[in-house]
Structure 1
Amino acid sequence: MTYKTLFLDIDGTILRPDHTYASSTKEAIEQVQEQGMLVFICTGRPLHEVKELGEELGVEGYIGYNGAYAIYEDNILVDEPINQNTFEQFLAVAKKNNHEIVCYTSDKNYFTSLMNPVMKNFSEVFQLKNNRILTQDVHSHILSLSLINVPPEQAKEYEAVNNDFYLSEVIVNGISNCYDVIRKRVNKGEAVKKVLQHIGVEPEQAIAFGDGMNDKEMLQVVGEGFAMGNSNPDLFSYAKHRTTSVDDSGIYNGLKKLNLVE
């Protein structure tokens, strides 16, 4: 099989808990690019916060906001804001239960609170810099959102808002009771399919690496889906392969399994 495209999640896949990446990760990316493969970052993070990392790694394209926005060669391939009415229903549930929300647009991060210690910690862990307080004028521009400080027994209230959404727990050191809100029709997998269609690559010629439940659709739509060794255990059933952890050169070792790196 000739592989043509590689999709990489960031947190827990490219980046280790200390926000660094292994030299083997960069080496692996360079080696597959020398073979003509296109490399895409595919993350839940907002893209305006990951461009520096992408430039360091020399990636060719980006999928962000858990699949709500994708760009390649200055062409916007996906741009799917959340329905404003639905977003405001999530906001009402959060307000009722004293939860917090971080919302992401194409150029900023909007917080329901900037002073709450839980929110400050979230911002530090995910290195969010372009932060503002949430205002109503951006309600129609929200591409994705994270629910903060939500006890597991209260998470179902959000799932009851709309059947087109599900919650994906964020499992990162220093973060607890936090969920990404994922749309069943707008997610990493759907974005990957649109990117592949645009560049004329068959799904069997694509590879993806991830570690969270927000990666499950992505791992299912490509020919070679790898779950990192540090993945949410529920993810393994959605992946064709299991590689080593992010602390143990998981991307490099997975690509080596396919004889793509030396």
Structure 2
Amino acid sequence: MTYKTLFLDIDGTILTSNHTYTSCTKDAIEQVQERGILVFICTGRPLHEVKELGEELGVDGYIGYNGAYAIFENQILVNKPMDKQRVEQFLTLAKQNHHELVCYTKDKNYFTSLSHPAIKNFIDVFQLKNNQLLTADVHDQILGSSIIHVLPSEVQAYEELDTEIHLSEVTVNNISNCYDIIRQQVNKGEAIKIVLQHLGVEPNKAIAFGDGMNDKEMLQVVGEGFAMENSNPELFAYAKHRTTAVDKSGIYNGLKQLELVK
């Protein structure tokens, strides 16, 4: 098989818990690019927070905000903000239940609080820089959102507000009771479909690596989907392959299974 594209999640896939990546990961990216394979970061993170990493790794394109925004060669391929009314409904529910939200726009991370301990921890763990308090004038610009300080038993209330979304637990070390809002028609998998169509690449010639349930759709739409050893156990059912953990060069070892790296 001649593969054409590689899509990589960041946290728990490229980056270890101490925010580093193995030398084998960068080497693997360089080796597949030498074969003509385009490499995309595909993350729930806002793209304004990952460009530095992308430049270090020399990736070719980006999918961010869990599939709401995609860019390749300075061309925006996907740009799908959340419905303003729905955002405001989530904010009302969060306030009623003493939850916190982070809402991402193209340029900033907007929080419902900057003083709550769970928010401070969230900012620290993800090393977020462009942070401001959420204001009503950006409610129509929200590309993605996460609910913070919410118990598993409280998740259903959000999903009942909108049957077109589901909440996906953020499985990152030192983060708990945090969920990404995933839209049924706006997710990593749907964004990959659009990117592949733009590139003229068949899905069976695409590869993806992930570790969280927000990677479920991504692993399903490509020909070769890899779940990291450190994945949420529920993700394994959606992956064609398993590979080693992020701190054991999982991306490199997975690509080695496909005989794409030496």
TM-score interval w.r.t. the shorter chain?
A: over 0.9
2:125 is aligned to 125
- Whether 1:78 and 2:78 are equivalent positions in the alignment is yes
Q: Distance in 2 between matches of 1:127 and 1:76?
A: 25
1:5 maps to which residue? Answer: 5
Q: How far apart are 1:89 and its partner, in Å?
A: 0.6
Residue of structure 2 in register with 1:201 after alignment: 201
Stretches of 4+ moved more than 3 A in 1?
Answer: none
Aligned to 1:100: 100
Give the count of matched residue pairs: 262
Match of 1:77, as an amino acid? Answer: L
User: Where in structure 2 are there 5+ consecutive unaligned residues?
Assistant: none
Distance in 2 (alpha carbons) for counterparts of 1:133 and 1:35: 45
Q: Matched residues in 1 for 2:40 and 2:154: separation?
A: 35
Whole-angstrom CA distance in 2 between matches of 1:188 and 1:151: 25
Distance 1:95 1:117 in 2: 16
Q: Which amino acid aligns with 2:163?
A: N
Output the aligned Cα RMSD. Answer: 0.4
Q: Provide the C-alpha distance between the structure 2 equivalents of 1:200 and 1:152, rounded to a whole number of angstroms.
A: 41
Residues 1:249 and 2:232 aligned together: no
| AA at the equivalent of 2:26 | K
Aligned match of 2:258: 258
- Give CA-to-partner distance per residue, 1:7-43, whole Å, 9 cap, x none: 0000000000000000000000000000000000000
What runs of 5+ residues in structure 1 fail to find an aligned partner? Answer: none
Give 3-state SS (helix, strand or coil) of 1:19's partner: coil
Are 1:221 and 2:254 an aligned pair?
no
CA distance in 1 between partners of 2:191 and 2:158 (Å): 24
Give the counterpart letter for 2:178 in structure 1: C
Q: Within 5 A, what are the aligned runs for 1:1-80?
A: 1-80=1-80
Aligned to 1:145: 145
* Aligned-partner Cα distance in 1 for 2:12–2:23: 15
Q: Partner residue of 1:136? A: 136
Q: CA deviation at 1:127?
A: 1.1
- Give the letter for the 2:183 counterpart: R
- Give the 5 Å matches for 1:151-162: 151-162=151-162
- TM-score of the two chains, using structure 2 as the length reference: 1.00
Find the aligned partners of 1:117 and 1:218 in 2 and give their Cα distance: 32
Q: Distance in 1 between matches of 2:99 and 2:117?
A: 13
Measured after TM superposition, the shift of residue 247 of structure 1 is 1.1
Q: Structure 1: which amino acid aligns with 2:184?
A: K
SS at match of 2:29: helix
Alpha-carbon deviations, 1:193-212, whole Å to 9, x = none? 00000011110000000000
Question: How much identity, in percent, do the aligned residues show?
Answer: 73
1:89 correspondence with 2:93: no
Q: Distance in 1 between matches of 2:140 and 2:133?
A: 15
The normalised TM-score by structure 1 is 1.00
